[in-house]
Amino acid sequence: MPRVVIVSNRLPVSVKKVDGKLEFYPSAGGLATGLSSYANTGANRWIGWPGIASDDLSDTERKDIVTELKKHHCYPVFLTQKQLQGFYNGYSNSVLWPLFHHMKVETGDTAANWRAYKEVNRLYAETTLKLSRDTDRLWLHDYQLMLLPEMIRVARPKGRIGFFLHIPFPSPDLFLASSHAASLAKGLLGADLVGMHTASYTENFLAACRELGIGIIGPRKVVLPERIVRVTDLPIGIDYKKFADASRSLDVSLEHKKLLWKYRGKKVILTIDRLDPSKGLVGRLKAYRMLLAENPKLHGKVVMVMQAMPSRTEVAAYQKLRVDVEKLVGHINDQFGTWRWTPVETIFSPLPFAQYAALYQRADVAFIAPIRDGMNLVAKEYLASHPKSDGILILSETAGAAEELKDAVLVNPYKLRSLVTGLTDALSMTPSGFLQRTRKMQRILRGNTIDKWATGFIDLLERPIPLPNIRITRALGAPQTAELIADYHQARKRLILLDYDGTLEPIKKHPEDAKPSRATLAALKRLAKDPHNHVAVISGRDRTNLMEWLGSLPVTLVAEHGGFIRLHDQKSWRKTNQHSLSWEKKVTKLFEHYTAQTPGSFVERKEWSIVWHYRSAAPFYAQKNLVILKKLLKPIAEHNTLGVVDGNMALEVRHLDVSKGHITQEWLFHDQDFILAIGDDTTDEDMFAALPPTAYSIKVGRGRTLANYRLPNTPAVHHLLRKL
C-alpha cells in the first residue's frame, strides 16, 4: 500500500503554552476529530500547523514540538503571527469562509491578505514536498489550502494528489464574483481527485469551471490538456461505534447519570457547534424565544443546552457573535426564567468526550440549524449516540448532512417560522413516533463510517480515470472561415441548420424576450433566397412561437427539438413521430413538487417534452433540486426510453426518438454537398452527432461538444452568416 500523507491547516494535535510550559492536546473541529483515527496508523503522515504562533517559541521549544509531534506521526508547519493574521484570520476566515457559506464578506478581501494566503500555501507546498516521496498519495484538505494542489503539481507532474473540501462550494455566480475565482479553481485542479460532501457542491464547482472556460467539463470530471481531474461527491461519515458504544464507558455513564438527575422532568434541546456565524446560533435562540412566548405551557418543562466552542476568536465577526449570543441568552433567561428554571444554559468551552457524549445521550432533541454547513458531524454523532433510536433530530435543509438525513425534522434556517415549527413539532413527538425515522438514518450512518469514507477517497485516487470520447474542437479562425466560405460557394446543394436561442439570438432571462432581431430576420431571408440553399431553424421552442416570429419566412421550421416540422414551402406542420406520453404524469408530478421547493422555477409543458426552467430561481435551491431531480428521473427515463437533457438553465425530459439528431438524419439522404450546423446547447449535440464528418458543425460558446469548430457568441455567428 502506498503511504498517505495528509496535509491540512491544523494538525490533529495542538500545542499551547501554560505557565511557560508546552502542553499538547487533541484539536477540536470536524476534520481533526474525523480523520485522527485514520491517520494514527503509523504508516501515514500528517502535515499541518500545530496551533501556536512561531514568534512565541524559542528554538528549543520548536525542536521539542517536532519531537513530540513525531510520536503522533505529525509534522508541523510553523507560522508567524503576521502570517496567521493574513492567511488564517484574514483571507481564509474573513473572505473564503463567509463567501463559501453564502454570507456577506465584510472585511479581509485585501491585497495583503491574498498575498499572505499565497505565501502560506507555498510554505505548505515546500514542507509537503520535503516530507513526502514521489510515490506517496497526497491528501490535501480544505479551503485554507486551495492553491496547494497546483503548487505541488508544478513540482511533481506525475504525483497522485487528492483534495477534499470540507465546506460547501458556493453557487457559481457568488464564487465568480471573487476576483480570485480563477486562481482558486485552477489551484484545486492541480489535484487528480477533488472531493466534496454533496453532489450540489461538485455541480457548483464544475459549473464555475465551465464559466471560467477552464478545460472541458464532463460528467464528474474536468478535462485539461494534460490531465483529467475527477470531481466527486463523497459525504464524510463518523466513527459510529465510538458514539454508539459510549454508554458502555464508565466515564460517560457517570456523566449521563448526572444529567439525568439535573434535568429530571424536563425535555432537553441540545445545540453543539463551534461559535461561528455560519452555524445560525442567533436564529436558533430567536426561535426558542418565540417558542416560549407562544407556549407558556412549556415553561419550566424544557431547557436549551447550548454548547458553543469559541473559535477564530481573533476575527471581529466571531467576537461580535459571542456578544450577540450572550446578550440574547441573557434576554431569554430574564424574560422567562424563574429561580427554579433557567431556560437556556450555555457552555462556552470545549468539553471532554465523556461530557459531550453524555449530553448527546441525554438530549431529547438535537437542534442543528446552521445557515449553511459543508456537512455537520454533530447531527450524525447525535443520532449515533442513541442506540435505542430515541433521539429526535432537527436539521437545516441547507446543511450537507440533510442530503443523507432526509428523515430528520428539516427546517429552513433563513425562516424563523420554520425553525419554530421544527421545534414545536419535535417537542410534540414521542421518541417512539420518531423511531422508524431515526432508525432509517442510523442505518445510513452505520453504512458510511469515517473509515469507509477515507478508504473510499484513497481508493478513488488510485483508480485510473477513463479518457472521455471527445472530438478535438478548434476555434473557427480566419483560415477555417475562408475554407468554409470557399466550400459554400462551390456547392450546389446546401443544408444550413441553425439553432435559435443562444445561436441566432442571445439567451434572455425570459424566453419570450428573445424576439428575432432585424439582423436575424435579414440573414435568414437572404440565405433562404438562394435556390441552392435549404435553411432550417431547429429549435426547442413550440410551434406557435416559431410561427409567430419566423412563420412568414421561406425557411423550414423545426419545433420542440425535432417533434414537429414545417417545411419551407408548406403551410402546415407535421408530427415527426407517434408516441404515447404515458410517462408524462409521473414526470409532471415530480417537476411540480420540486418547483414548489425552488422558488422562481417553473414547468413548461410542450407536446413532446416537459421542461423545468430554473434560470430565475435562487441558485442554491436550483442546484440542489436539480441534482435530486436528475437522480429521481433516472429510473423513469430508463423504463420509458426518455432523454433527460441538461439545457441552458433548464432540465428537459423527452422521448429519445424525438431529437434534433433524428430530424437531421431525415435530411441527410438528399445528397447535399455542403452542410453547416450551428448550435449552442446540449440538445444541439444530437444534431452534431448525426452529421457526416465532412459537415461544418459549430458550437457557440464554451463547454464540451462534438462539433468541429467553435465560435464565441451570437455576433460571431452573424458575422459568419453575413459572409456567406
Of 136, 192, 255, 381, the one binding ligand GDG (CB under 6 A) is 381
Q: Quick one: 377 or 402, whose CB is closer to ligand GDG?
A: 377
**Adjacent-strand bridge partners of 288:** none
Query: In a 3-state reduction of DSSP, which class is residue 152?
Result: helix
Candidate segments 26-34, 53-61, 245-253, 680-688, binder of ligand GDG by CB under 6 A: 26-34
Using an 8 Å Cβ cutoff, are 192 and 461 in contact?
A: yes
The residue with its CB nearest to ligand GDG is: 30
Candidate segments 213-221, 369-377, 452-460, 648-656, binder of ligand GDG by CB under 6 A: 369-377
Task: Give the list of residues 6+ apart from residue 176 with CB closer than 8 angstroms, or none.
Answer: 208, 211, 212
Write phi, then psi, for 244 (nearest 5 degrees). -65, -35
Beta-carbon-side half-sphere exposure of residue 74 (alpha carbons within 13 Å)? 30
Per-residue 3-state assignment (H helix, E strand, C coil) for 69-99: HHHCCEEECCCCHHHHHHHHHHHHHHHHHHH
Beta-carbon-side half-sphere exposure of residue 401 (alpha carbons within 13 Å)? 30
Please state the closest distance from residue 103 (CB atom) to ligand GDG, in A: 13
Q: Is the dihedral of CA 570, 576, 582, 588 positive or negative?
A: negative
Residue 308 within binding range of ligand GDG, rule CB under 6 A: no
Please state the closest distance from residue 627 (CB atom) to ligand GDG, in A: 18
Residue 311 CA to residue 233 CA, distance in Å, equals 27
Q: Quick one: 34 or 86, whose CB is closer to ligand GDG?
A: 34
Residue 373 within binding range of ligand GDG, rule CB under 6 A: yes
Residue 668 CA to residue 551 CA, distance in Å, equals 24
Q: Quick one: 146 or 651, whose CB is closer to ligand GDG?
A: 146
Q: Quick one: 452 or 615, whose CB is closer to ligand GDG?
A: 452
Residue 419 CA to residue 417 CA, distance in Å, equals 5
Q: How far is CA 617 from CA 345, 599, 613, 614, in A?
A: 40, 6, 8, 5
The closest alpha carbon to 268, from 326, 376, 344, belongs to: 344
Residue 378 within binding range of ligand GDG, rule CB under 6 A: yes
Candidate segments 23-31, 63-71, 102-110, 528-536, binder of ligand GDG by CB under 6 A: 23-31
Q: How far is CA 520 from CA 527, 535, 538, 549, 550, in A?
A: 11, 13, 14, 11, 10
Is 499 a catalytic site residue? Answer: yes
Please state the closest distance from residue 641 (CB atom) to ligand GDG, in A: 40
Residue 242 within binding range of ligand GDG, rule CB under 6 A: no
Candidate segments 41-49, 78-86, 373-381, 545-553, binder of ligand GDG by CB under 6 A: 373-381
Q: Taking CB under 6 A as the rule, which mask of x and - marks residues 249-278 in contact with ligand GDG?
A: -----------------------x-x----
Please state the closest distance from residue 375 (CB atom) to ligand GDG, in A: 3
Please state the closest distance from residue 341 (CB atom) to ligand GDG, in A: 25
Of the candidates 192, 364, 499, 501, the residue annotated as catalytic is 499
Candidate segments 60-68, 252-260, 377-385, 428-436, binder of ligand GDG by CB under 6 A: 377-385
Residue 359 CA to residue 256 CA, distance in Å, equals 7
Residue 239 within binding range of ligand GDG, rule CB under 6 A: no
Using an 8 Å Cβ cutoff, are 677 and 696 in contact?
A: yes
Residue 356 within binding range of ligand GDG, rule CB under 6 A: yes
Q: Quick one: 309 or 644, whose CB is closer to ligand GDG?
A: 309
Span 158-217, contacts to ligand GDG by CB under 6 A: 166-167
Of 7, 11, 30, 365, the one binding ligand GDG (CB under 6 A) is 30
Of 53, 351, 632, 644, the one binding ligand GDG (CB under 6 A) is 351
Q: Where are the beta strands (DSSP E) in 52-201?
A: 74-76, 137-141, 160-164, 193-196
Residue 23 CA to residue 508 CA, distance in Å, equals 61
Q: Quick one: 29 or 48, whose CB is closer to ligand GDG?
A: 29
Of 51, 337, 350, 703, the one binding ligand GDG (CB under 6 A) is 350
Map grid coordinates 441573557 to a residue.
330
Query: In a 3-state reduction of DSSP, which class is residue 509?
Result: coil
Please state the closest distance from residue 144 (CB atom) to ligand GDG, in A: 12
Q: Quick one: 91 or 356, whose CB is closer to ligand GDG?
A: 356
Using an 8 Å Cβ cutoff, are 233 and 202 in contact?
A: yes
Q: Quick one: 128 or 376, whose CB is closer to ligand GDG?
A: 376
Please state the closest distance from residue 243 (CB atom) to ligand GDG, in A: 9
Residue 402 within binding range of ligand GDG, rule CB under 6 A: no
Residue 317 within binding range of ligand GDG, rule CB under 6 A: no
Neighbour-count burial for 523-562, b at 16+ CB within 10 Å, e otherwise: bbeebbeeeebbbbbbbbbbbebbbebbeebebbbbbbbb
Of 7, 13, 31, 52, the one binding ligand GDG (CB under 6 A) is 31
Residue 377 within binding range of ligand GDG, rule CB under 6 A: yes
Using an 8 Å Cβ cutoff, are 234 and 374 in contact?
A: no
Task: Give the list of residues 6+ apart from residue 578 with CB closer than 8 angstroms, or none.
Answer: none
Please state the closest distance from residue 534 (CB atom) to ligand GDG, in A: 57
Of 7, 9, 34, 209, the one binding ligand GDG (CB under 6 A) is 34
Please state the closest distance from residue 34 (CB atom) to ligand GDG, in A: 6
Q: Quick one: 9 or 85, whose CB is closer to ligand GDG?
A: 9
Q: Quick one: 356 or 608, whose CB is closer to ligand GDG?
A: 356
Please state the closest distance from residue 305 (CB atom) to ligand GDG, in A: 12
Q: Quick one: 182 or 351, whose CB is closer to ligand GDG?
A: 351
Residue 598 CA to residue 621 CA, distance in Å, equals 6
Q: Quick one: 31 or 216, whose CB is closer to ligand GDG?
A: 31
Q: With the CA atoms of 490, 492, 493 and 495 taken in that order, what torsion angle do they form, in degrees rounded to the nearest 10? A: 40
Candidate segments 125-133, 371-379, 468-476, 548-556, binder of ligand GDG by CB under 6 A: 371-379
Residue 724 CA to residue 715 CA, distance in Å, equals 15
Write phi, then psi, for 195 (nearest 5 degrees). -110, 145
By CB under 6 A, the count of residues binding ligand GDG is 22
The closest alpha carbon to 117, from 154, 78, 146, belongs to: 146
Write phi, then psi, for 373 (nearest 5 degrees). -150, 135
**Adjacent-strand bridge partners of 26:** 13
89, three cell numbers: 484570520
Please state the closest distance from residue 274 (CB atom) to ligand GDG, in A: 5
Please state the closest distance from residue 102 (CB atom) to ligand GDG, in A: 13
701, three cell numbers: 460558446
User: Where do contacts with ligand GDG occur on this chain (CB under 6 A)?
Assistant: 28-31, 33-34, 166-167, 236, 272, 274, 309, 350-351, 356, 373-378, 381
Residues noted as catalytic: 499
